[in-house]
Amino acid sequence: MIFGSTPRRHSRCLLSAGIRSGLLALFGLLILAQPAWAYLDPGTGSYLLQMFVAVLLGAGVAVKVYWRKITAFLSSRRGGQPGKTHDDV
């Protein structure tokens, strides 16, 4: 389902929202330290931001993936059904 009314929960990872916000706020302070207004190439900033944010958010995805694997392994050991995979849309 692409645009259902129920919001999906993506942030079920070990890094709490608070820690993530804190880390990014710190990064934000660093990045905001030297404001510049020339509007030459907004693409560069977008790429660099992606690089930094991807490290943080990618770690969250990795934790989620391994967490799922662990819970699937444990549930299979207990004789239960492995967790269903689902469409991320």
Rounded to an integer, what distance in angstroms lies between the CA atom of residue 86 and that of residue 58? 19
Binding segment for another protein (CB under 8 A), chosen from 47-55, 67-75, 77-85, is: 47-55
Structure tokens at 65: 């993936």
Give the DSSP H/E element, type plus range, for residue 67: helix 42-77
Among 43, 79, 84, 85, binds another protein (CB under 8 A): 43
> Where on the chain is the footprint of another protein (CB under 8 A)?
2-3, 7-8, 10-11, 17, 20-21, 24-25, 27-28, 31-32, 34-51, 53-62, 65, 88-89
